[in-house]
Homo-oligomer: A and B are copies of this chain.
Amino acid sequence: MIKPDSYFKVTYGLYLVTARLGEQKVGYVANTVFQVTSSPARFGVSCSKDNFSTSIIERSGSFAFSVLGERASTGLIGDFGYRSGREIDKFRGVNYFIGQTGSPIITDSAIAWFECRTVETLDLGSHLLMIGEVIASDVLNDQIKPLTYQYYRDVLKGFSPKNAPTYVDKSLLETNSPGMLSESEIWQCSLCHYAYETDKGDPISGIDPGTRFQDLPDDWCCPICGADKSQFFKD
């Protein structure tokens, strides 16, 4: 028996993985970034084949990743995590510089960054596991804690998008949350699956617990991906 909740006990950070091929810059939010050897230092990154970024990362032969801090902009996570580079220019208005390999390295909301040259690519069916050797890295902020996937889920109420290696089908999860009253309503964001629960409100945006969805301000938007109210449906 596999218990879906068990996946939430595995700890990850959150990262902006980026690459560039010619004029095409790509980037997405990843949690499965991890060191696989120490000498030389190499990192593995698992990339969904359905992501536009993946083919660019593969063809460019290099990638970078920025380590997000706890105070990371949810707009940045929304753009890089839930929107496609085919549709919007994710880098517009974002601070970054071009590294030695040509990869764009994002400094906004980041506490550290690494630049890697790909040395192996392992085909895992739905995903490619890129192994990259670190050629440069730096710390940008030593005061802010790294954003963890747990913090993202628990405090920001975020979920993995469908292409993530750690995607879990919410319908499989046990919902025995003791604070959940029967009259509480849940409204879900069609873009990123964030769930607005009326009995919890949206502390990030200053919305008190108990606020009905129809009473949210007109300019309220999804705290994860920035979608407006019209993108929500009642669960």
Contact assessment for A9 and B41 in the assembled complex, using a CB-CB cutoff below 8 Å: no
Closest B residue, CB atoms, query A42: B124
Given the known inter-chain contacts A134-B2, A138-B1, please indicate yes or no for A37 contacting B7, CB distance below 8 A: no
Task: Give the copy number.
Answer: 2
The residues of A with any CB-CB pair to B shorter than 8 Å are 1-3, 5-7, 9-13, 32-39, 41-42, 44, 46, 67, 111-114, 120, 122, 124-127, 129, 131, 134-139, 142, 145-146, 148-150, 160, 164-168
Asked, given contacts A36-B32, A165-B38, whether A6 binds B139 with beta carbons under 8 Å apart, the answer is yes
Cβ A39 vs Cβ B126 within 8 A? yes
Q: CB distance A2 to B137 under 8 Å?
A: yes
Is the beta-carbon distance between A166 and B38 smaller than 8 angstroms? yes
**Is the beta-carbon distance between A36 and B139 smaller than 8 angstroms?**
no
The 8 A-B residue pairs with the shortest CB-CB distance in the complex, in nearest-first order: A11-B13, A9-B112, A6-B137, A38-B167, A36-B46, A6-B112, A9-B67, A34-B34
Q: Which residue of B lies closest to A149 (CB)?
A: B11
Residues of chain B contacted by A7 (CB below 8 angstroms): 35, 41, 137
- Which residue of the partner chain, among B12, B67, B137, B139, contacts A34 with CB atoms under 8 Å? B12
